[in-house]
Amino acid sequence: MSEIAIIGAGAWGTALSIALGRKATHRVRLWAHEKEVRDSIVAQRTNELYLPGQTIPECVVPTNDYKEALHGAEIVVSVMPSHHCRAVFEELHVHLTPTMMVVTATKGLEGGTMMRMSEVITQVVSAGAGFTPQVGALSGPSFAKEVARGDPTAITIASQHSALAETVQREFSDAQFRIYTNKDVVGVELGGALKNIIAIAAGVCDGLGLGHNSIAALITRGLAEITRLVVACGGHAETMAGLAGLGDLVLTCTGGLSRNRSVGVELGRGRKLPEVIATMHGMVAEGVFTTHTAMELATLRKVEMPITAQMDAILNRGKSPQEAIHELMTRSAKSETG
């Protein structure tokens, strides 16, 4: 039996528990912050708060206790909003051991430090537990609801530790859930975080009633600026042509289940950000948190990111979507490949 701990019982963490629970050789413990989530799973075998209507296998044991969740775990999957990652690992690191493989499935950057989640986890565990953990990043085009119901899905696990990547690929893959391996942790994590910004922009276009031409241009030029920052940070351009780059970007910019795109749609319709966030009932659109941090990182790396800059202005400085689009379209002439 493989022992797997999932830390975070939002929609994505719950979907992963369902996918992993399909294998008879797995024992999965799912840590939930909210007692009501744990009680819902125990009583109904569903997470009615974050992923209603999706049955959770009996081999998935919900808990609100870190020690119970991590006891005997071989693989620890971190699935929480990026702004909670540091605090959570500062509490749970005492239950980690050097043999545990840690996988981050969070698509975001830490505000202030501009760190990727694998960097946050490594820093906290190294300082608190006294060892450097084996860490990988799981990312790619994967709406939680579709993974939970068994729609064919392909994503990637990136790690500098080949044993970790191969173990996750073997243990997580089945006929509905295909895992590829990658060594480019920087590219995979940044691709997953930055595409959320472009997805909000795509939603804005939709909310304004713009057509397919606008969305196609946005996705293409969005991928170009994401790739520039990835390369500047040490990642590989070819990663951005894969599942954690183009694949996730297209899904999040066009799919109706995208929370980031949905935020953008409402902004395009004229609603204010606090009002939009208030209607999300605790669900997190990571792009809202990531946009300003991405701009700070781009400034530090001297990378031009015009779409991200305009989204930062809309989200954080009250700029109108119409004005932002006008400025993007009237920038000085550029070469597409220069």
Q: Which residues are catalytic?
A: 195
Which secondary structure element, helix H or strand E, spans residue 213, and what is its range? Answer: helix 212-232
- For residue 271, give both structure tokens: 């609603």
Angle between helices 259-268 and 286-301 (to 10 degrees): 90
198 close to 222: Cβ distance less than 8 angstroms: yes
Candidates 159, 153, 121; CA nearest to 140 is: 153
Strands across the sheet containing 60-63: 60-63, 26-31, 2-7, 75-78, 101-104, 134-139, 153-158, 177-182
Residue 199, helix vs strand vs coil: helix
Q: Which residues pair with 135 in a beta bridge?
A: 102
Written in H, E and C, the secondary structure of 265-293 is: HHHHCCCCHHHHHHCCCCCCCHHHHHHHH
**Cα–Cα distance for residue pair 267/44, rounded to 1 Å:** 36
